[in-house]
Structure 1
Amino acid sequence: MAPCTLACTGIGFSFVHGSFYYSNMQPISPESTVSTVSMEVKGSPLVLLHQHSLELTPDGKYVRWLRDHPKHPRNWSALRKSYDLTLVCLLDLFITASSTAGSAAAAQAEIEYNMNKTLATFIFVTIFLLGQVAGTILFPPWSEAFGRKNMYIFSSGLSAICCMIIGLVRPMSVIIVMRIISGLLSAIPYTIIGGSIEDMFNTRGRIWGMYCWTIASNIGLVLGPIISSYVVAELGWRWNFYIFAIIIAAVTGGLCVIRESRPALLLAHEVRKVSELTTMDSIPPPLNHDHIPDLHTFVRESLLRPAQLFFREPIIFLVAMMIAVSMSLIYIFTQALQPIFESMGFKETDASLMFIPIAIGTVLSAFTRILDEHILRRFREQGQPIKPEHKLAGLAIGGPVLALSLWWFAWTVPSAVHTSWVVPAISLVLVGYALTELDTTLYGYISDSYLSYSASATAAVAFVRALLSGTFPLFTDQMFDGLGNNVAMTVLAAVATVFCVVPPLFIIYGERIRQASKFARYSWDIQQELGKDEDDM
């Protein structure tokens, strides 16, 4: 076969014992075509690929990144990664704050529209989170197939518009629709940031990337009630949404200059560039396990993937339930925390400041990230591979601390004892610390365990979290009024105590569970095939 014919028909190339092969392993005779082969190799796809920091997979069927390719997101500069991560975290922070801010707005809107408190809470809090539930199903597969950047901008820009419309209009029907759409859009940063972090950071970097995201999200949860309490008291509930519209619009401007981070899409772009440099139809397709599907495949597989992960993966199921119940505490506190401290002599607005101890606890979790670094460094020094279970120290600490702090809070508020407000406030610091540990560690665990499916895995968790977070506020008042503050908090403390069995389960049996998992095992196979050392890239 002539070399030119080989170049036009082969789909993969390799050198074996001095002979030049294409995909069906038919050799060119070195004796008869040495000079022409030499000329062909000089301009061959192999040379072009290496000139663009690309290479063929071992089987010669696909193109993949070379380790040092400057356009791979894990090789971006620290400044670029920091900027992009900061912007998407700010987006999640303020959109999350707009969700918990709904409680204070509902308290005043119920008077304006002459509705009961439960209905007002449903409109301003629950339907936002129900919209988020729908978004967690719809959007994450899109990010895996079509990229992240445009979805962030789409979410941010439309969220700002929705907030502005809620503040401007009078018909409640329009407010309801805008609140649902806002919730739907909030699922975009909420569910795909984990995927962006996996795109840009290696195992060590993901510790701090997930920490930054969790800090931003949790501070957003506690910042919303504080901002809204003072804004609603001074300016009215509509200004609550004007302010968030302005802030989120500013974030949208910053998002316009972040980069697309989905490696598969960037790789496809690089392969197209190389293909345009040659007239030979011999450049194999890019390695892309998350290829862009047709509509039928997208509906059948991609949209259903989060549900598959939730019901078929024990890790995802347990993580989803633990995160959903624990993080729903914040939405319970938006209804219950201020009345508890008002009974201790605080004014309504000042009582909202009791969310600050939770925020302080959130920041204190940085010490556990330092512990994570120490543990990983020890394994590296011993020459042992880093496993997801090696980063579960925060879970082992956070689970018991959450149970302890809730028991503490339950029995140091009226009417069990008469103590200074400082005593239960200290327990809230521990609550904030524990919630952040669970959030950071568990999201990081599924990100490390599911890699290319991390966005869909996060979506499954986010679905359950949003569903429970939207449901709990509807019966919080009835629960605390009927059982009393002490017993109601005791119920929550008991649930947190049951969750203490999860940390040893994951630490001892996590690797075995992952090995039996279709999705987790497949993700590790992909990583090994790519040949990337997670500790270095």
Structure 2
Amino acid sequence: MSFSSSDDDTSALSLQSSLEDLSLEFTTDRKFIRWANANPRHPRNWTTNRKVYDTAIIIWLEFFTTAISASGASAAADAQHEFGISHTLSVFLFISIYLIGQSIGGIVFPPFSECFGRRWLYIISMAIYCISCLTTGLVPSISGVVVGRFFSGFTSAIPTAVVPGSIEDLYNAKDRIVFIFLWAMLANTGLLIIGPIMGTYIVSGLGWRWIFYIGAIVIGITTGFLFNLQESRHTILLENEVSKLRKVTGMQELRALNPDHVPDLRTFLQSAVFRPARFLVTEPIVFIVSTIASIAFAMVYLFTEALPAVYGDMGFTTQTSSLPFLALGCGFLLSSLTRVLDHAILDKLYREGKPITPESKLIGFSIGAPVLALGLWWFAWTIPPLVPNVHWIVSATALVPVGYSLNEIDTVLAGYLADSYLSYASSGFAAMSFLRAILSAIFPCSLKGCTLI
């Protein structure tokens, strides 16, 4: 609403005083209420300790759930004998079903979090994830695996697709580089290093069901810590602040600046749930970025199946055949050097007074794309049977540039979407998550000689 000079002076002064007390202000057209720049209740102005706690716990969720996801390859190899099924069908049950669930959750949850908040979504989803892991381990049938893996994948879409939006809530463009990098690096570490190695040793020592028992225990404990998480969606918090303002002033006509407001479920479904799908088919940036990132990410799941087989043929044991994943981790560490270069570029732009655009942060992708091609060629031409009698260290060394480039592509393109779509970063990333989950579900089943019968 707008206020003219005929408004009661006392009411106007009272309103202005209340706005200042709550660190709020009118938009320039005086129709809506918005945050004042230094409002301490805006997520970007929270204390460092508060932001570090929230960021650490949601990144931990992504790290651990991806590790459990990658452990599915080890579980599949062991469970196929118990259920009397082919290896590829077992891979489909333990990995592909999980990723199909994640692809669906990745479309639904991000816009929901943008409209209704993130905190309770994290809490409820992780509680369901815990139950789903128990279902996978406890139910002695294939149907239990299908239900458990689908719903654990469905709820794992929260940290996978919503965390970039939470990071955008909390940090400015410069700081986002660091936290998007940490999120992507730890997720890839869980997926490509901890998950395969942990899964191999757990299955060898305790059996495949203990992968999911441990997953349920750890996520169950983490869910308790999530209750101390603060809501970070700034439009939801602004609505709460304006609600306080209405109570103080008695002016029920005051409205928050909230582009995410949805009056009913139908409007939500039309404008929000289909937003990621709309982005994917109508936004060239989202389509191109999603396609490139999804192919690179799907290779991660392909490696979780391929590397144990490759190095098993070279004489490695079941346990040690997972250790070449450590070479990928060395590549991840090299990504920290690119972040130093990122900061040098941004500091130069700040000093010169030039604007920082999303394209200013693409240097890692420019390096990572050709390095990935080089690393894959190197690896492919140094493993048997096409190239016999080559020491395993030669091909394992090729995994270092592969790990570097996979991490760079994932980190940089996720950050690019976050910077390009800002408040709608979760929806932009949901489109990418959907496509990469679908490809990741397909790639492990595409190895030569695999059938579903």
Which TM-score band applies after superposition, normalised by the shorter structure? over 0.9
2:447 partner SS: helix
Q: CA deviation at 1:479?
A: 7.5
Query: 8 Å contact 2:132–2:147 — kept in the other structure?
Result: no
d(CA) in 1 for partners of 2:12, 2:211: 65
d(CA) in 2 for partners of 1:188, 1:199: 15
2:401 aligned with 1:435 = no
Q: Which residue does the alignment assign to 1:474?
A: 445
Query: 8 Å contact 2:383–2:390 — kept in the other structure?
Result: yes
Larger Rg: 1
- Unpaired segments ≥5 residues, structure 1: 1-10, 14-20, 22-26, 30-35, 481-537
Q: CA deviation at 1:434?
A: 0.5
Q: CA deviation at 1:280?
A: 3.5
2:277 aligned with 1:307 = yes
Letter in 2 for 1:379: L
Q: Which residue does the alignment assign to 1:106?
A: 76
Letter in 2 for 1:147: G
Q: CA deviation at 1:169?
A: 1.6
d(CA) in 2 for partners of 1:186, 1:440: 19
d(CA) in 2 for partners of 1:266, 1:139: 19
Q: Which residue does the alignment assign to 2:243?
A: 272
Q: Which residue does the alignment assign to 1:12?
A: 2
Query: 8 Å contact 1:132–1:466 — kept in the other structure?
Result: yes
Encode CA deviations 1:211-259: one digit per residue, 9 max, x unaligned: 0110121011122111111110111111111111111112212211111
Q: CA deviation at 1:417?
A: 4.6
Does the C-alpha gap of structure 1 residues 476 and 387 become closer, same or farther in structure 2, counting only changes over 3 Å? Answer: same
Letter in 2 for 1:324: S
Q: How does 1:60-71 map to 2 (within 5 A)?
A: 60-71=30-41
Would you say how many aligned residue pairs link Structure 1 and Structure 2?
A: 449
Q: CA deviation at 1:342?
A: 1.6
Runs of 4+ that moved beyond 4 A: none
Deviates more, 1:64-73 or 1:410-419: 410-419
Query: 8 Å contact 1:199–1:262 — kept in the other structure?
Result: yes
Q: Which residue does the alignment assign to 2:424?
A: 453
Match of 1:318 among 288, 302, 305: 288
Letter in 2 for 1:247: V
- Unpaired segments ≥5 residues, structure 2: none
Q: Aligned-pair RMSD on alpha carbons? A: 1.5
Q: Which residue does the alignment assign to 1:171?
A: 141
Does the C-alpha gap of structure 1 residues 401 and 174 become closer, same or farther in structure 2, counting only changes over 3 Å? Answer: same
Q: Which residue does the alignment assign to 1:527?
A: none
Deviates more, 1:296-305 or 1:193-202: 296-305
Q: Which residue does the alignment assign to 2:210?
A: 239
| TM-score normalized with structure 1 length | 0.81
Encode CA deviations 1:486-515: one digit per residue, 9 max, x unaligned: xxxxxxxxxxxxxxxxxxxxxxxxxxxxxx
Q: CA deviation at 1:97?
A: 1.3
Query: 8 Å contact 2:34–2:257 — kept in the other structure?
Result: yes
1:121 partner SS: helix
d(CA) in 2 for partners of 1:315, 1:118: 35
Query: 8 Å contact 1:335–1:477 — kept in the other structure?
Result: no
Query: 8 Å contact 2:23–2:35 — kept in the other structure?
Result: yes
d(CA) in 1 for partners of 2:214, 2:262: 38
d(CA) in 1 for partners of 2:173, 2:95: 36
Deviates more, 1:273-282 or 1:366-375: 273-282
d(CA) in 2 for partners of 1:345, 1:150: 49
Q: Which residue does the alignment assign to 1:350?
A: 320
Match of 1:147 among 117, 122, 136: 117
d(CA) in 1 for partners of 2:284, 2:20: 42
Letter in 1 for 2:311: F
Q: Percent identity?
A: 44
Does the C-alpha gap of structure 1 residues 172 and 281 become closer, same or farther in structure 2, counting only changes over 3 Å? Answer: closer
Query: 8 Å contact 1:336–1:477 — kept in the other structure?
Result: no
Match of 1:423 among 389, 394, 398: 394
Q: CA deviation at 1:307?
A: 0.9
Q: How does 1:193-342 map to 2 (within 5 A)?
A: 193-222=163-192, 223-282=194-253, 284-342=254-312
Query: 8 Å contact 1:145–1:292 — kept in the other structure?
Result: yes
2:131 aligned with 1:158 = no
Match of 1:182 among 133, 152, 165: 152
2:6 aligned with 1:28 = yes
Q: CA deviation at 1:363?
A: 2.4
1:365 partner SS: helix
Higher RCO, 1 vs 2 (CA within 8 Å, ≥6 residues apart): 2
Deviates more, 1:463-472 or 1:336-345: 336-345
